[in-house]
Structure 1
Amino acid sequence: MIDTMRKVGLPLGPALFLLVCLIPPHDGLSQQAVYCAAVTALMATWWITEAIPIPATSMIPIVLFPFLKIMPSAKATLPYANHLIYLFMGGFFIAVCMERWNLHYRIAMHTIRLVGTSPSRIVLGFMVAAGFLSMWVSNTATTVMMMPIGLAIIKACADITGDHDLRHNPFAVSLMLALAYAASIGGLGTIIGTPPNTIMVAQIDKLYGQTISFLDWMKVGVPLAATFLILTWLLLTKVLFPVKGDILQGKGEQLIQAELAKLGAMKKEEKLIVAVFAVVATLWILMGLVKWPIFKGVSDASVAIAGALLLFIIPSDLNKGVFLLDWKTAVKIPWDVILLFGGGLCLADGFQDTGLTKYIAGLLVDLEGMQLIWIIACIVALNIFLTEVTSNTAVATLMIPVMGAIAVGMKINPFGPIVAACIACSYAFMLPVATPPNAVVFGSGAVTIRQMARTGLWLNILGIIQITLVVYFLMPWVWGIDLTVLPDWAIPKK
C-alpha cells in the first residue's frame, strides 16, 4: 500500500503544482500567492504519500520560493534556524543522554512499582511511566524501551496461566495497546513532547509574534494528557479488555523487583543527568512564572541548549575522556524532524508574504455565523482521522496556516482552531501505520489490527469530545483569552 502511494504521489505532486500554477491571478489573489499555493499542493502531496523522504520535501521552499519570486533565498532559509528549533534540539540532546545511561529505564521501573503490581495497576503503571517519559523523550524511543519489559511480564503471566495465545489474552492486549497509546498521549504535556506541539508554537511565533511559554503550554497540555491517560486506562482495562482476578498470582512485585535488581544502584552519571534535567525543567517553569531581569531576552531554547552543553561538558570519567554526552550519541537525534519544522515555518512565511492567508480567510467569511464549538469539533475530527493515514508532523505543518486563515475568516482568535488542530494530530490510535508506537506494539504479535482499530475508534471519538471541551473551555480560562474575538495581532497586514 505504501509503495503504491509513493508511485502515485511522485508524479501527482508535480502535476498538481502545474495545475495550480494555471489559476489566473485576480482580485485578492496575486501571482505569487498562486505560486505559493502550487508549492503547498506539491509539498502536501509528497508529504502525505511520502513519495520522497519527508525531510527532503521540507527543503522544497528553499529552491522554489526564490525562483518563483515568493521570497529571496536569504529569507527562505531563515526559518530553518528558528529559535524554537533549538528548543526541540536541546530537548533531543537531553533525551538521548538519558537513553545512553539507561536513566529512562530506571524511571519507568520505579514508576510501575509505585503505582502497583496487580494486572490493571501494572497497565496503569506502564501508562504513567510511558506518559511521563514521552513528555521529554520521543514516543518511539519510549515504546521501544518499555516494550521488552511489558513482554517479559506478559510471558511470566502466560507461564503462570498456561495460556500462550497472546492475541486472546486480555491482559497482553491491554498492556501493549496501553503502552503505545500512553507514549503518544504523554507527549501532549510539554512543548518538546511531540513534534506537532513545537511546530504549533513555532508557527504562532512566526505568524503572529505571540509566544507560548513552556509553562503556558503545560497548563493546558498536562491536564489534557492526564485526563486522557485515565480515560484510556478505564476503556482498556474496564470495558474492552477486562482482566478478572490476579492472573499474576501475586508475582507482579517480584517481576518488577527483578528488573530493578538488574539495574543495580543508581550510577553517578544518572544522578548528574537528573541534576541537569532538574535545573533545565525548573528554569523552563520559572521563566513563565516570574519576570526577573536576568530572564529578559532569554527563551526556552537558550535554556535547552544550555542544558545540552552541560551534558557535553560534565565528565563521566575525566581520565578516560568520557563525558555524559558525546557527539556519537548526539547525532542520533531525529534531524529529519528539524528539517520538517523549517519547511513548515518557511511555508507559513510564504502564506503571509504573498497574501494567501488573507485570501483564504476571505473565502471562509461565511463561516462567521457558525457556533465556534462546532467548528472546533469539526477541525478536531478532520485532523484526528487525517493523522491516522498521514504523518502527524506533516499534517500539523500543513494545517496550521490554514487554521489561522479560518480564524481570520470567522473573526475569532487563531489559538482556537490552531491549538485544536495541533492536539488532534497526536491522537493517532487506530492503525499500525498511524504512528511509530502503534507499529512497534503491533510488531510484538500481541495485538491484531482489528483490536487496535476497534480500540482506536473509541479513543478517537472520546478524543474529539475531550479536545473540543479543553480548547473551548479550559484553554481560554488558563490563558486569559477570548476565543470569540479576533485580536489585532492576528489581522493580516497585507
Structure 2
Amino acid sequence: MLSPPAVSQSPAEESAPLDQRGQPGFLWPDDRPAEKETEHAASRVPRTWQEWVTVLLVVFGVAASLFIYLAPLPSGLTHAGKAASAVFLLCTMLWVTNVLPIGITGLLAIALLGLGGAVTPADAFAAFGNSAVFFILGVFIIAAALVKSGLSKRWALLFLVRFGRSPYVFATGLMLTSAIATVFMPAQATTAMLFPIAFEVARAMKLRPGVSPYGKVLFLSLAWGAMVGSNASFLGSTRAALALGMLFKAHGITVTFSEWMLASLPLVVLGIIVIPLILRVSFPREDVDFQGARKVLESAVTNLGGIQWPQVKVGGLMLLTIFAWIFLAGRVDLAIIALLSATAMFAIGALKWEDLEGRIYWSVILMYGGAIALGVALDRTGAAQWVVTRGLGEIRISPFFAIAGIAVAALIVSEFMSNAAAVAVMLPLGFTFGEQLGAAPVAIMLATSFGAGLDFALPISSAPNTIAFASGYIRMTDFLKAGAMMTLVSIAIMLLVAKVWWPLIGLVTVP
C-alpha cells in the first residue's frame, strides 16, 4: 500500500502575505512562490510486487495478442476481426498497467489497426475526425479561460463563504460547489481548483493528516461532489463525449445536451443527498474549531476585489455557449459550438496560446482517437459480435439486467484504468451484448458512461479521488470503507433511474 504524502507547512505557506486584518492570506497554486522539490513519501516505499504484477500483465497482454493474431482463423471470425481483437486485448492491458501514457497507447492502437489489417489506415486515422475528439478539445480550452480569468475562483469562493457557519455545513457546501462547478468544467479541473481551499481550511483548523475524521469528510466531500456532478452534463466528464462519439459511430444516434442533463438529473440529485449520509455513517463526528478556517475564507474573498471586465466577458460567452448547446442541439453539432466558443475566447482576449500549456490534456485527446478507432474496428469486423456470441451467447436475461450487468462491468473495469479507457473497452462489447438481448443502444451508452464514473472505492480510479488522496488526510482504508458503500449505493440509484426515470421522460424504454 502506498503511503499518502506527508502534510507539513511549506516555505510558501510560511511566507504567505497578510491580508488587511493581519490574517494569513490565501494563496492559490499559481500564486505561490516556487518551492524546493521534496522527496515524495511514496517513493521510499518498496514497489517490487507492483512492478512484477505490471510486468506479468504486459507480458501476458503481448503474448495473448500475438497468439490471437497468429492463430488459425476460428469459425465465424475474419482475419480483420482477429486482428482487431488482438489489438483490443493489447491496448486493454496497456491501459490497465499504464506502462505507456494513455495517449500513446491510443496512437499505438491506430497504428496497429492499420498495420494488422483490421481496418484500412485511412479508416484508422479517420477516428481523429470524430466530433467527440474536437468537442473535448473545445471544452478544455473553455475551461482554461474560466480558470485563467479567475471567474471560476471568484464563483467558488463567493459560493463557499455562505457555508462558513460550521465545519460540517462547510463540507456540504464544498461538495455542492464541486458538483455544480463540474456541470460546466471537467471534474479534474474542478477538483484541482477547489483543492487549495480545502487544504488551507484543513491547515487553519490544525487537523491531523490521516487521523482527523473531519479531514476525511472534507476531502471526500470535495472529490465525490466532483465525481457525482460529472454525470450531469457533457462538460464534466470526458468519458461522456467519448461514449456519445462511439454511439454515433456505431448507430448514428445523437443525444442532445438537454436530454443528457435530464437523464442524469435524479442520479446527480440523489447522489448529492447520500454523500453526507454515507460520510456521517463512515466517520465519527469530530468537534473541531472552525474559527481559523472562517478567517481564511473571509480573507480569500476580501482579496478577490471587484469583478473584472475579462471575467464578465468570459462569463457572458460561457452562458451563450451553454444556451447554444441546449437550444441549437440537432441543428448545430455540439463540437462546432465548442470550437466556436473556444475561438471566441481568444478573440475577446481571454486567452493566449501559452495559456493552454499544461491545461490541455493532450494524452486524453489522443486516447480518445485510439479508443474510437478500436470501437469502429471491433464493430465493422464483427469481432465484438463474435466475442459476445461465443462468450455470452447462451445468456438469456431481460434488457434491464443486461444494462445492469454492463454498468457493473464498466464500474469494475474503471477501478483499474481511467474512466474513459473503461468506456473505450466496455462500450463496443456492451452495444453488441445489449442488442442481442433487446436493450436500446442509448440505454447501453448511458449505463456504461455512468457506471464508469461511479468508482469511489480506490484513489487511483479517478482524478478527483487521486487529488483528494494526495492531501494526506485520507488513508487507503478510508477509501475502501466509505468508497465501497458509496459505490454500491450509487450503482443501485443508477439502476433505479434507468428502470423508472428514463422511460418516464421518453428517452428510452428499459423492460
TM range (shorter): 0.7 to 0.9
Instruction: Give the secondary structure class of the aligned counterpart of 1:188.
Output: coil
Instruction: Give the secondary structure class of the aligned counterpart of 1:174.
Output: helix
Correspondence 1:85 to 2:85 = no
- Are the structure 2 counterparts of residues 149 and 480 from structure 1 closer, same or farther at C-alpha, using a change threshold of 3 Å? closer
Check conservation: 1:130, 1:142, Cα contact below 8 A: yes
Query: 1:113-164 CA distances to partner (integer Å, 9 max, x unpaired)?
Result: 3345322211111011111222232322222221221122223333xxxxx4
Corresponding residue for 1:286?
327
Give, in whole Å, the separation in 2 of the partners of 1:334 and 1:3. 26
Give, in whole Å, the separation in 2 of the partners of 1:481 and 1:430. 30
Check conservation: 2:205, 2:288, Cα contact below 8 A: no
Normalised TM-score (structure 1): 0.88
1:456 aligned to which of 465, 480, 483: 483
Give, in whole Å, the separation in 2 of the partners of 1:39 and 1:147. 38
> Please, which runs of 5 or more residues in structure 2 have no aligned partner?
1-46
Correspondence 1:309 to 2:343 = yes
Corresponding residue for 1:329?
355
Instruction: Give the secondary structure class of the aligned counterpart of 1:212.
Output: coil
- Are the structure 2 counterparts of residues 477 and 27 from structure 1 closer, same or farther at C-alpha, using a change threshold of 3 Å? farther
Give, in whole Å, the separation in 2 of the partners of 1:196 and 1:336. 13
Correspondence 1:50 to 2:86 = no
Give, in whole Å, the separation in 2 of the partners of 1:256 and 1:460. 32
Check conservation: 1:190, 1:217, Cα contact below 8 A: yes
Correspondence 1:233 to 2:276 = yes
- Are the structure 2 counterparts of residues 5 and 336 from structure 1 closer, same or farther at C-alpha, using a change threshold of 3 Å? farther
Corresponding residue for 1:367?
395
Give, in whole Å, the separation in 2 of the partners of 1:57 and 1:17. 15
Moved more, 377-386 or 223-232: 377-386
Corresponding residue for 2:18?
none
Normalised TM-score (structure 2): 0.85
Moved more, 7-16 or 180-189: 7-16
Give, in whole Å, the separation in 2 of the partners of 1:174 and 1:441. 11
Check conservation: 1:404, 1:417, Cα contact below 8 A: yes
Give, in whole Å, the separation in 1 of the partners of 2:378 and 2:293. 55
- Are the structure 2 counterparts of residues 361 and 396 from structure 1 closer, same or farther at C-alpha, using a change threshold of 3 Å? same
Corresponding residue for 2:55?
7
Correspondence 1:299 to 2:333 = yes
Which amino acid in the other structure matches residue 110 of structure 1? L
- Are the structure 2 counterparts of residues 436 and 376 from structure 1 closer, same or farther at C-alpha, using a change threshold of 3 Å? same
Check conservation: 1:360, 1:405, Cα contact below 8 A: no
Correspondence 1:274 to 2:274 = no
Corresponding residue for 2:231?
188
What is the CA-CA distance between 1:95 and the residue it aligns to?
0.3
Check conservation: 1:61, 1:347, Cα contact below 8 A: yes
Corresponding residue for 1:319?
none
1:103 aligned to which of 146, 151, 175: 151
Check conservation: 1:428, 1:435, Cα contact below 8 A: yes
Query: 1:188-242 CA distances to partner (integer Å, 9 max, x unpaired)?
Result: 1111211211111010010000001111111122332222122112221x32235
1:198 aligned to which of 222, 241, 245: 241
Moved more, 328-337 or 18-27: 18-27
Give, in whole Å, the separation in 2 of the partners of 1:11 and 1:169. 42
Instruction: Give the secondary structure class of the aligned counterpart of 2:192.
Output: helix
Corresponding residue for 2:190?
142
What is the CA-CA distance between 1:181 and the residue it aligns to?
1.4
Which amino acid in the other structure matches residue 437 of structure 2? M
Within 5 Å, give how 1:22-421 maps onto structure 2: 22-115=70-163, 117-158=165-206, 164-236=207-279, 238-243=280-285, 247-248=289-290, 254-288=295-329, 296=331, 298-314=332-348, 323-331=349-357, 332-363=359-390, 364-368=392-396, 370-421=397-448
Give, in whole Å, the separation in 1 of the partners of 2:316 and 2:227. 26
- Are the structure 2 counterparts of residues 382 and 72 from structure 1 closer, same or farther at C-alpha, using a change threshold of 3 Å? closer
Give, in whole Å, the separation in 1 of the partners of 2:74 and 2:210. 59
Check conservation: 1:416, 1:472, Cα contact below 8 A: no
Corresponding residue for 1:292?
none
Give, in whole Å, the separation in 1 of the partners of 2:54 and 2:151. 39
What is the CA-CA distance between 1:100 and the residue it aligns to?
1.2
Check conservation: 2:427, 2:445, Cα contact below 8 A: yes
Check conservation: 1:429, 1:460, Cα contact below 8 A: yes
Check conservation: 1:9, 1:50, Cα contact below 8 A: no
Moved more, 377-386 or 423-432: 377-386
Check conservation: 1:136, 1:187, Cα contact below 8 A: no
Instruction: Give the secondary structure class of the aligned counterpart of 1:204.
Output: helix
Give, in whole Å, the separation in 2 of the partners of 1:172 and 1:14. 43
Within 5 Å, give how 1:470-481 maps onto structure 2: 470-481=497-508
What is the CA-CA distance between 1:375 and the residue it aligns to?
3.2
Q: State, as a whole percentage, how many aligned pairs show the same letter.
A: 24
What is the CA-CA distance between 1:418 and the residue it aligns to?
3.0
- Are the structure 2 counterparts of residues 75 and 376 from structure 1 closer, same or farther at C-alpha, using a change threshold of 3 Å? closer
Give, in whole Å, the separation in 1 of the partners of 2:96 and 2:163. 40
Instruction: Give the secondary structure class of the aligned counterpart of 1:168.
Output: coil
Give, in whole Å, the separation in 2 of the partners of 1:219 and 1:257. 36
Instruction: Give the secondary structure class of the aligned counterpart of 1:202.
Output: helix
